[in-house]
Structure 1
Amino acid sequence: MFTAGAPLPDDAELAGLCREHVAGSERLAPAEQADIYRRQFWLRHRDALREDYPALAHVLGDDGFDAFARAYLAAHPPASFTLRDLGRYVADFAGAYEGFPPALRDLARDVARYEHALVDLFDGASPPPLDPAKVTGMPADGWSTARIVLHPLLALVRLDHPAHVLRSELKQGRSPALPAPRPVRLAVFRGADLTIRFEELEPPAFALLEALGRGVPLVPACEEVAAGARGAGAEASSEATGAGEGAGAALAERVGAWFQRWTSWGLIVDVVPGARAEGG
């Protein structure tokens, strides 16, 4: 009843149910009294979504966001006692939602995906930090099978718009213009000071983190990324072999710097030795 989209007095069936279960008052009929709670349901949950998705609300404007929130709540009514879980399906819903203005559709979906990635980072549990001895004690040949464990609160996000910049400017109290399209690869994570951080990554660095996140050991992961760089070189240049070899050499030089940076950010939380080959 309280999730109805239209006023309860306008629905004869619901108004009849109100007469059975709601006392009413001297000033309000039962359906009018119950309708106060119906309106509060929509206002409360719309405002909760706006708090978690401020950049999406900025992109859509008040009326557009209100329509989106109503459609979302109709499709996914609250199923948890906590408002934290209210937006659990927002990113998927936005990906299929046909109510976005065509000119804003791609941006709105990117913004929804980015803001959705932030929700679990606020209060998720953090694992113990990386034990440096696991790195210094690893034999050189152990890296070919060692598995790098990434922080469980790390989100790797591919976007076609800089949604992170838009939200950051809003959080600083600005009223930013809508950004132009720009491919972005982000590492989004919670820092040691419990603040949410984002870092833009180079495509090879992003690809390496993706491979490590899938459980690929370090050396094979680097080979996978290098193969991708060689493929990109082959497409971009008629001198494909030279370009690919150059890309692989450049990758090898940069991996060490990336790992130092990722370790300082707390993205690497464990190094698990792999099984040694028989007789090795």
Structure 2
Amino acid sequence: MRLNDWQLEFEAYLLGAQSQPGAALRDSLLGSTALSAEEGLAIYHNAYRSRLLDALREDYPTLVYWLGDDQFERLASAYLQAHPSRHFSLRWLGERLADFIDGYLVAEQAAPLAELARLEWAFTLAFDAMEGEPLTLQSMASLPPADWPELRVGLLPSVQWQLCHYNSLAVWRARKDEGELPATAALDQPQVCLIWRQGLISRYRSLGAAEAHALAGMVQQGWNFAGLCVELSAHDDSAAVQAATWLKQWISDGLLERLITAEDE
């Protein structure tokens, strides 16, 4: 057997669900009096699979807490069968778990579980994201008044925007606090949850509908500060005050970076 063929055979064995090797791979190795080739391969296979499962448990501790070890292992094993590890880093192993859950379970079971998986993955993405250049209150204090109307902002790289239809955040908090898990429940209205990192600390905050609409307008639709004030004025007589209050909150939270346009340069 050529080396390349042997490597492919060994890879297929490691990624497969069965610890029993094929005859070609088994016969290519020599065992010892203490350990046969088949036993040695099984140890390697089981250790590799165990490490993959541990990596998923580390990325999705709330799913483990909710489902229990046995059910989570069944879910994770099915996921690994459908999406074997292809990246040199285990960091990306669980990237597709939420989408897998959507197709693996019936819709009523999948929806809250997949949403919880997306929430946990968002914390992972936020923690690993690039720093960016956060907009600060000090820099805003030095901004000339004439520049305020055209001010445009975006979210820093670590900020993850999650739309929750279920009480996923309450479930996540209960696991974090090692408390009793609440029953899964649909929210009366979908709620935006922001997840981001400040320094080495993960942060999160839920937004009310009006605040979420305002922030989405600026970071997703490209409103400048003047546009935000105009939009708010249709619903609030103190639009400029509310716009400034929210902007200060977003900057204090460490969510925003300034977008520099050609006109600003």
- Asked if these proteins are the same fold (TM beyond 0.5), I'd say yes
Pick aligned residue for 2:30 from 2, 23, 33: 23
Q: Match of 1:39?
A: 46
Contact 1:156 1:188 in 2 (8 A): yes
Amino acid at match of 1:199: R
For 2:100, the aligned partner's letter is F
Q: 1:242-253 counterparts in 2 under 5 A?
A: 245=234, 247-249=235-237, 252-253=240-241
Q: How far did residue 158 of structure 1 move? A: 0.2
Instruction: Describe how 1:95-244 pairs up with structure 2 within 5 A.
Output: 95=102, 97-98=103-104, 100=105, 103-130=108-135, 132=137, 134-138=139-143, 140=145, 142-182=147-187, 183-192=190-199, 194-214=200-220, 216-219=222-225, 222=228, 226=232
Which blocks of at least 5 consecutive residues in structure 1 are unaligned? 9-13, 227-243
Q: CA offsets, 1:104-133, max 9 Å, x none?
A: 322101101101111122232312342556
Q: How many residues align?
A: 250
Say whether 1:48 aligns with 2:55: yes
Tell me the equivalent position of 1:256. Answer: 244
Mapped partners of 1:38, 1:221: distance in 2: 59
Question: Quick one: structure 1 residues 255 and 94, their matched pair in 2 at CA, closer, same or farther if it must change by over 3 Å?
Answer: farther
Residues 184 and 47 (structure 1), Cα distance of their counterparts in 2 relative to 1, 3 Å cut: same
Cα deviation, 1:200-247, whole Å, max 9, x if unaligned, reads 101121122223223603247527965xxxxxxxxxxxxxxxxx94x2
2:166 aligns to what SS in structure 1? coil
| Deviation for aligned residue 1:72 | 1.8
Distance of 1:66 and 1:169 partners within structure 2: 21
Q: Structure 1 residue 272: deviation in Å?
A: 2.9
Q: Which amino acid aligns with 1:164?
A: L
Assess, with a 3 A threshold, how the Cα gap between structure 1 residues 257 and 131 changes in structure 2: closer, same or farther.
closer
Aligned to 2:19: 7
TM-score (normalizing by structure 2): 0.81
- Separation of aligned partners in 1, 2:57 and 2:226: 43
Q: What is the deviation of 1:42?
A: 1.7
Displacement after TM superposition at 1:165 (Å): 2.4
CA 1:48–1:57 in 2, change beyond 3 Å: closer, same or farther?
same
Cα displacement string for residues 227-275 of structure 1 (whole angstroms, at most 9, x for unaligned residues): xxxxxxxxxxxxxxxxx94x24465542222111111111123253563
Structure 1 pair 90/119, CA: closer, same or farther in 2 (3 Å)? same
Question: 1:224–1:185: structure 2 CA closer, same or farther, 3 Å change rule?
Answer: farther
Q: 1:275 to 1:48 in 2, by over 3 A?
A: same
The equivalent residue for 1:91 is 98
Structure 1 contact 23–30 (Cα < 8 Å) conserved = yes
Q: Partner of 2:15: helix, strand, or coil?
A: coil
Distance 2:83 2:100 in 1: 9
Q: CA RMSD in A?
A: 2.8
What SS does the aligned partner of 1:146 have? coil
Residues 158-210 of structure 1, C-alpha deviations (whole Å, 9 max, x = no match):
01112222222212222423332223211111124x21111110112112222
Equivalent AA in structure 1 for residue 165 of structure 2? D
8 Å CA contact retained: 2:137, 2:251: no
Distance 1:220 1:91, change over 3 A: farther
Letter in 1 for 2:213: A
Asked if residue 57 in structure 1 is aligned to residue 64 in structure 2, the reply is yes
Among all aligned residue pairs of Structure 1 and Structure 2, give the percentage whose two residues are the same amino acid: 26
Relative to structure 1, the CA distance from residue 33 to residue 260 in structure 2 (aligned partners, 3 Å threshold; closer, same or farther) is same
AA at the equivalent of 1:17:
A
- Unaligned regions of 5+ residues in structure 2, if any? 1-12
Letter of the 2:71 partner, please give it.
G
